[in-house]
Amino acid sequence: MSAAEGPLVVGVDTSTQSTKALVVDAATGRVVASGQAPHTVSSGAGRESDPRQWWDALRTALDQCGDAAREAAAVSIGGQQHGLVTLDAAGDPVRPALLWNDVRSAPQARRLIEELGGAKAWAERTGSVPSASFTVTKWAWLAENEPEAVRAVKAVRLPHDYLTERLTGEGTTDRGDASGTGWWASGTETYDEETLARVGLDPALLPRMVRPGEVAGTVRDSHDLPFSKGTLVAGGTGDNAAAALGLGARPGVPVMSLGTSGTVYAVSQRRPADPTGTVAGFADARGDWLPLACTLNCTLAVDRVAALLGLDREAVEPGTDVTLLPYLDGERTPNLPHSSGLLYGLRHDTTAGQLLQAAYDGAVHSLLGALDLVLDADADPSAPLLLIGGGARGTAWQQTVRRLSGRPVQIPEARELVALGAAAQAAGLLTGEDPAAVARRWNTAAGPVLDAVERDEATLARIAGVVSDAAPLLERDGGTL
């Protein structure tokens, strides 16, 4: 390994399935070492993980980085949003964390919307209309279903907060991740007392808000990671805000992320407030905003369909009139938390490859349906769509997004953008730069551009019609009929 040109920083991505760590040269953006370790997620009635796994995975990932991690001057952690981490007086988990894709709190979400003024009032106050993904609905579910656990709770954290606190000994969070809780008021950028009172959550249990560019703390003595005592720790942020930093995203540039979940977002200088609930009015990690729409079913759902068909994920065939809605975990966009997958239009001559293409089409349709709401009215409709996440490397994903969006599609060559964004945030502590400017200096968004093709309006209209007609059937188990 050649000598670094600048100080080394560590960026971490603690996601649903694994924790990844990158050691990055702050001067050039060169990744000098990396590591990764998996997590387990329950597959029963809900989606839960023991937060202590995340720490163990972080230690394993950093061990894989070798000596480079020991030389780091600063570290920052990006993490999966919305997860509810409940800690006791000793800082240990009271119970496994409720993850973003745990949708058991859908009834609580509906009730909270009604009790606190309706969807429009929620959007104006918090920027978002809460769904079953949001932390506030999970806390309400926990209070109703596990009151003994709630009585033992002495601190409430998000996933990235949990790891940051174990590093520094201080409970902190940032505006980007806090904006996904449902109890952070986007207009005042403070915790919302009315919401907290409604769900019975003492604000003293919540972490201190770290401002953009502020040091969250320093690495303390009592830890088993390879960082030196006194190493700077940035505030960290949620995974989507970290990825936006990792791209150095400028306002108005659309981003689609294809991972366990699918997301579309764009940095905006206007505070969003969508009363339909399709767009979450998140904050970014810099001081701007990150309007975002998210689907629960993306790459894992399509891979599951491929496995059921006995096909490689790339074995798609064109020419299908079949519609496949891959809502295998319920769905957030559209808001059908109790739905399941639906297949419509099957005929004798339908091939397995056409069914697989229909799954891709169904997944991408949900994301593109929200894109116009995410973007400001003055955004350039011909700007390339930045395609990131694990699915962005797949030809079938690339061509489906290209065909259904009608936009040019750019695939950044940089990988692990959440960890890179966290690394850029850590580097900004050392240089005083805007982390997004750090990432642009690193040229992280560079990559090939696929030219635009004619938008497949017929497929988009067909899928939209099936979603509309089938919505009552899809949601029947949720008791909405």
User: How far are the Cα atoms of 139, 153, 196 from residue 134, in angstroms, in the given order?
Assistant: 9, 19, 14
| CA neighbours closer than 13 Å in the CB half-sphere of residue 1 | 15
CA distance 7 to 79: 24
* Contact (Cβ atoms closer than 8 angstroms) between residue 209 and residue 158: no
Q: Catalytic residue numbers?
A: 239
User: How far are the Cα atoms of 62, 72, 106, 200, 296 from residue 34, in angstroms, in the given order?
Assistant: 8, 13, 38, 42, 28
CA distance 421 to 284: 12
C-beta atoms surrounding 43 within 10 Å: 8
Phi, psi of 348 (to 5 degrees): -60, -35
